[in-house]
C-alpha cells in the first residue's frame, strides 16, 4: 500500500498547470483535504481508488500523502502568496471526508460516508452523505441534499438550505434564511437571527422540533394526522394557521400552546419580530415552488433588461415626466426593499466572475 | 409559567419526585408550554454538561478546598468513591447556564488567544473542576463580562484574519447586538416573561458562539 501511494505522491512542477493522479486506497480509508483558496469538488465512484485532479496555475502545488488510514491532500504555493487552486477529487462512495479551506468553495456529490466541511469565505454544497455530517461556513451559503445521519450545519452571513434529509438535524445561521424541505426527522433544531425559517417535513410522535428567529417569519408544516403540542411565542408578530388550532394554554401575552391530536411530539416556534405560520405540507411545497419560479423569472427579466436598450423609444415626453416623478417617489423605497434581496445574489455572481478573472490573470502573467 | 412547578423541574429531571408529584407535574407539563420549554432547556443544559470531560487537575486542589470548608462538614462521598454528576438549577440560573457551558467549552481558544498567553496554553484545570460551581453562579453580568473579554481578544487578533472576514463578523455581531438590545428593552417592559428571558439568553449564547468560532479561526491562521 505504501508503495502504491508513494507512486502516487504528487508534487506539481513549475511547468505544469494541472496535476492528475489516481491510486488505490484500502477499505475504510478516509480523505482529508486542506485547500486555502479555490475550490474543492469531490465526486464518488464505485472503485477503491482515489483520483486527484488539480488546476494549480504556475505557482501552486498539490501534495498527496497517506497518514495512518487517511489520504491527505494539501495545497500550497511554490513562492509568495497562497495560490488559488481548484481540486477535483473522485473517491470511493463510502469514503469519509474532512474538507477545509479559507477562500474555498466546497462541493460534494454522491458520497455516502461521513462528511465534515469547513470554509471561511465560500459556499458549501453537498449532495449525499451518511453518518455524522458537519458543514460550517462564515461567509457563504450552505446546502445539503439527500443525506442521512446526524446533521449539523452552520453559516454566519448566508442562507442554509436542506432538502430530502433524514436524521437528527441542528442548523444555525445569523444573517440568512433557513429552509428545510423534505425532512424526515424526530429531532430538528433550526434558528437564525435575521431571516425566515421554513420547515416542511415529518412531525413524528415523541419527536422534538424547535424553530427560532429574531427578525424573520417562521413557517412550518403540520401534516394532517400529526400528534404534536405546539408552543408558539412571538413578541411583535402574529400567529396564523390554515387549519383550526385547539389552544390548551396561554402564558402571558407572548406564548401560546396548542395540542394537535394526542400532542405526543413537541414543537417550539419562536420569533421576536416575525410572524408564525402553521401550514399543511402541500401549501409550503407550493409556496416554495412559486418562490423558485419567481426567482427564476426575476433572473430572466434581469438578463433581458440588461440587453434590451430600445424601450425608451416607446415613451413620449408626458410618460417620461410621470416616470421621473414615480421613480423619485418610489426609488428609495424599492431600493431599500430590493437591496437586501438581491445583494447576496449579485455579490456571489461577481465574486465568481472576478475570481475566475483573477485566476486567469494569475496564470497568464507569469 | 407556574412557579410551583417551575421550581420542581430540576428535581423531576433528577428523578427525585415521588410518584404522585411526578404524575402531577407531568399532567401540568402537558398543558403548560412555558414549563415544557423550560424543561427542554434544562434537559439540554444537563445533557451538555454531562458531555464535559472530567480531567485531573494540574495541581491537587483538595487541600485548598478543604481549608475553605473547614468550618463546615466534610462532603459526603459515594461508597464507590465516584461522585455522580448532579445538576440543579433555578430558572434564572438556567437562563445563564447554557451560555456558561458554551464559555467553558470555548475556554481553549479563548485562553490560547488571550494576550500574554501561549497559543498552546491549556484551559486551567481549576476552571474545569469548578465548572458546575461556575454554571450555578453565573449571571448575565458575568456573561457580559465574558463577551467583552472574547470581543477584546478578537479585536487584538483581527490582524490574523482578512479584512473581508473581519467586516462580515463585525456586521453579524452588530446584528446580534441589535437583537440583544431589542430583547432587553422588551424584558424591561415585561421582566417576568419566560420567552423573553430565554430568547435573550439564546441570543447572547449565539454571540458567544460566534466570537468563539472566529477566535478559533484566528488561532488557526
- The alpha carbon of residue A214 is apart from the nearest alpha carbon of chain B, in Å, by 7
What residues of A are in contact with residue B217 (Cβ under 8 Å)? 120, 138
Query: For residue B187, what is the nearest residue in chain A, using CA coordinates?
Result: A235
Nearest-CB residue to A251 (from B34, B171, B203): B34
- d(CA B210, CA B170) in angstroms, rounded, equals 10
Per the prediction, chain A carries an average pLDDT of 82
Q: Which of A142-146, A284-288, B47-51, B147-151 has the highest mean pLDDT?
A: A142-146
Whether B34 contacts chain A with CB within 8 A: yes
pLDDT on residue A46: 95
pLDDT at A86 > cutoff 80 = yes
Higher pLDDT, B162 or B42: B162
User: DSSP secondary structure string, A267-312?
Assistant: EEEEESSS-EEEE-HHHHHHHHHHHHHHHHHHHHHHHHHHH---GG
- What is each CA distance from A166 to A144, A211, A261, in whole angstroms? 11, 17, 24
Whether A272 contacts chain B with CB within 8 A: yes
Phi, psi of B56 (to 5 degrees): -70, 135
User: pLDDT tens digits, residue range A7-54?
Assistant: 445 444 434 678 889 999 998 999 999 999 999 999 999 999 999 999
Contact across the interface for B199 and A138, Cβ inside 8 Å: no
A162-176, A214-228, A315-329: range with lowest mean pLDDT:
A315-329
Q: Which residues pair with A133 in a beta bridge?
A: A115, A151
Question: What is the band of A222 on the pLDDT scale with cuts at 50, 70, 90?
Answer: very high
pLDDT on residue B159: 85
Nearest-CB residue to A231 (from B36, B199, B213): B36
Contact across the interface for B195 and A263, Cβ inside 8 Å: no
- d(CA B209, CA B5) in angstroms, rounded, equals 31
pLDDT on residue B147: 84
Percent of chain A scored above 70 by pLDDT? 75
- d(CA A97, CA A94) in angstroms, rounded, equals 9
pLDDT on residue B94: 57
Helix or strand or coil: residue A320? helix
Cα–chain center distance at A364: 33
- The alpha carbon of residue B174 is apart from the nearest alpha carbon of chain A, in Å, by 11
Complex-level ipTM: 0.73
Question: What is the band of B49 on the pLDDT scale with cuts at 50, 70, 90?
Answer: low
pLDDT on residue A357: 53
- d(CA B145, CA B83) in angstroms, rounded, equals 32
pLDDT on residue A311: 32
Contact across the interface for B175 and A174, Cβ inside 8 Å: yes
Nearest to B99 by CA among B130, B57, B129, B141: B141
Whether B185 contacts chain A with CB within 8 A: no
pLDDT at A315 > cutoff 90 = no
What residues of B are in contact with residue A249 (Cβ under 8 Å)? 31-33
pLDDT at A220 > cutoff 70 = yes
pLDDT at B139 > cutoff 90 = no
Is the distance from CB of A288 to CB of A200 less than 8 angstroms? yes
Cell 437591496 -> residue? A339
pLDDT on residue B14: 73
Q: Identify the residue among A137, A138, A216, A245 best suited for mutation to test binding to B, counting B beta carbons within 10 A and taking the highest.
A: A138
End-to-end Cα spacing for chain B: 47
The pTM of this model reads 0.68
- The alpha carbon of residue A172 is apart from the nearest alpha carbon of chain B, in Å, by 9
Q: CA A60, A65, A70: angle at the middle one, nearest 5?
A: 125
Question: Where are the alpha helices (H) located in chain B, listed in sequence order?
Answer: 3-6, 9-13, 19-29, 33-51, 62-68, 91-105, 107-113, 125-129, 131-137, 140-157, 163-189, 194-220
What residues of B are in contact with residue A263 (Cβ under 8 Å)? 30
Nearest to A71 by CA among A106, A32, A40, A22: A32
Mean pLDDT value across residues B87-115? 51
pLDDT on residue A143: 98
pLDDT on residue A124: 97
Higher pLDDT, B101 or A304: B101
Is the distance from CB of B91 to CB of B41 less than 8 angstroms? no
pLDDT on residue A208: 96
Query: For residue B180, what is the nearest residue in chain A, using CA coordinates?
Result: A214
Question: What is the band of B108 on the pLDDT scale with cuts at 50, 70, 90?
Answer: very low
Nearest to B176 by CA among B155, B198, B201: B201
pLDDT on residue B183: 93
Higher pLDDT, A279 or B51: A279
User: pLDDT tens digits, residue range A117-173?
Assistant: 999 999 999 999 999 999 999 999 999 999 999 999 999 999 999 999 999 999 999
Nearest to B48 by CA among B112, B126, B131: B131
Residue A328: left (phi > 0), alpha (psi -120 to 50), or beta?
Answer: alpha
pLDDT at A221 > cutoff 80 = yes
Whether B177 contacts chain A with CB within 8 A: no
User: pLDDT tens digits, residue range B115-137?
Assistant: 443 333 333 333 333 333 333 33
Phi, psi of A247 (to 5 degrees): -75, 135
User: pLDDT tens digits, residue range B166-201?
Assistant: 999 999 999 999 999 999 999 898 888 888 888 998
pLDDT on residue A174: 96
Contacts with B, A 154-193, CB within 8 Å: 154, 156-157, 172, 174-175, 191, 193
Mean pLDDT value across residues A169-197? 96
Whether B210 contacts chain A with CB within 8 A: yes
Question: What is the band of B46 on the pLDDT scale with cuts at 50, 70, 90?
Answer: low
Amino acid at each position: 500500500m505504501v508503495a502504491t501511494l508513494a507512486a502516487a505522491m504528487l508534487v506539481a512542477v513549475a511547468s505544469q498547470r494541472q496535476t492528475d493522479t489516481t491510486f488505490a486506497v484500502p477499505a475504510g480509508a478516509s480523505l482529508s483535504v486542506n485547500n486555502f483558496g479555490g475550490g474543492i469538488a469531490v465526486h464518488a465512484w464505485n472503485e477503491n481508488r482515489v483520483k486527484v485532479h488539480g488546476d494549480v496555475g504556475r505557482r501552486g502545488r498539490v501534495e498527496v500523502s497517506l497518514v495512518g488510514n487517511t489520504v491527505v491532500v494539501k495545497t500550497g504555493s511554490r513562492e509568495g502568496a497562497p495560490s488559488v487552486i481548484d481540486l477535483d477529487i473522485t473517491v470511493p462512495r463510502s469514503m469519509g471526508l474532512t474538507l477545509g479551506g479559507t477562500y474555498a468553495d466546497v462541493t460534494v456529490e454522491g458520497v455516502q460516508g461521513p462528511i465534515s466541511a469547513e470554509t471561511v469565505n465560500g459556499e458549501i454544497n453537498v449532495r449525499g452523505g451518511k453518518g455524522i455530517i458537519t458543514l460550517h461556513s462564515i461567509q457563504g451559503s450552505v446546502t445539503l441534499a439527500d443525506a442521512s445521519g446526524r446533521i449539523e450545519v452552520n453559516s454566519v452571513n448566508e442562507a442554509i438550505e436542506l432538502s430530502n434529509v433524514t436524521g437528527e438535524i441542528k442548523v444555525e445561521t445569523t444573517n440568512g434564511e433557513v429552509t428545510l424541505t423534505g425532512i424526515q426527522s424526530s429531532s430538528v433544531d433550526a434558528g437564525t437571527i435575521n431571516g425566515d425559517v421554513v420547515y416542511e417535513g415529518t412531525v413524528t410522535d415523541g419527536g422534538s422540533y424547535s424553530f427560532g428567529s429574531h427578525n424573520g417569519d417562521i413557517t412550518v408544516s403540520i401534516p394532517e394526522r400529526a400528534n404534536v403540542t405546539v408552543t408558539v411565542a412571538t413578541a411583535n408578530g402574529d400567529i396564523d394557521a390554515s387549519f383550526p388550532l385547539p389552544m390548551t394554554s396561554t402564558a402571558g401575552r407572548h406564548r401560546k400552546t396548542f395540542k394537535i391530536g394526542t400532542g405526543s411530539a413537541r414543537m417550539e416556534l419562536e420569533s421576536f419580530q416575525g410572524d408564525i405560520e402553521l401550514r399543511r405540507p402541500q401549501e409550503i411545497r407550493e409556496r416554495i415552488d412559486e418562490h423558485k419560479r419567481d426567482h427564476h423569472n426575476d433572473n430572466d427579466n434581469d438578463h433581458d433588461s440588461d440587453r434590451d436598450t430600445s424601450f425608451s423609444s416607446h415613451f413620449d415626453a408626458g410618460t417620461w415626466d410621470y416616470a421621473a416623478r414615480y421613480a423619485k417617489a418610489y426609488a428609495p423605497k424599492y431600493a431599500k426593499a430590493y437591496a437586501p434581496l438581491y445583494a447576496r445574489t449579485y455579490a456571489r455572481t461577481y465574486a465568481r466572475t472576478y475570481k475566475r478573472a483573477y485566476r486567469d490573470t494569475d496564470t497568464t502573467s507569469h | 409559567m407556574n412557579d410551583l412547578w417551575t421550581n420542581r423541574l430540576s428535581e423531576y429531571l433528577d428523578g427525585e419526585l415521588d410518584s404522585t408529584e411526578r404524575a402531577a407535574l407531568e399532567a401540568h407539563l402537558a398543558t403548560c408550554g412555558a414549563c415544557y420549554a423550560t424543561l427542554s432547556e434544562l434537559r439540554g443544559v444537563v445533557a451538555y454538561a454531562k458531555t464535559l470531560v472530567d480531567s485531573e487537575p494540574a495541581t491537587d486542589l483538595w487541600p485548598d478546598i478543604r481549608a475553605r470548608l473547614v468550618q463546615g462538614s466534610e462532603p459526603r462521598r459515594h461508597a464507590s468513591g465516584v461522585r455522580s454528576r448532579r445538576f440543579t438549577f433555578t430558572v434564572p440560573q438556567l437562563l445563564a447556564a447554557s451560555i456558561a457551558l458554551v464559555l467553558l467549552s470555548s475556554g481553549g481558544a479563548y485562553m490560547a488567544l488571550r494576550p500574554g498567553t501561549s497559543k498552546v496554553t491549556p484551559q486551567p484545570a481549576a476552571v474545569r473542576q469548578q465548572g458546575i460551581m461556575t454554571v450555578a453562579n453565573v449571571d448575565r453580568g458575568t456573561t457580559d463580562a465574558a463577551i467583552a473579554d472574547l470581543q477584546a481578544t478578537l479585536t487584538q487578533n483581527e490582524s490574523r484574519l482578512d479584512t473581508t472576514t473581519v467586516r462580515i463578523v463585525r456586521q453579524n455581531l452588530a446584528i446580534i447586538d441589535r437583537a440583544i438590545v431589542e430583547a432587553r428593552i422588551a424584558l424591561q417592559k415585561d421582566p417576568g416573561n419566560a420567552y423573553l428571558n430565554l430568547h435573550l439568553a439564546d441570543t447572547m449564547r449565539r454571540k458567544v458562539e460566534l466570537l468563539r468560532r472566529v477566535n478559533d479561526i484566528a488561532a488557526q491562521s
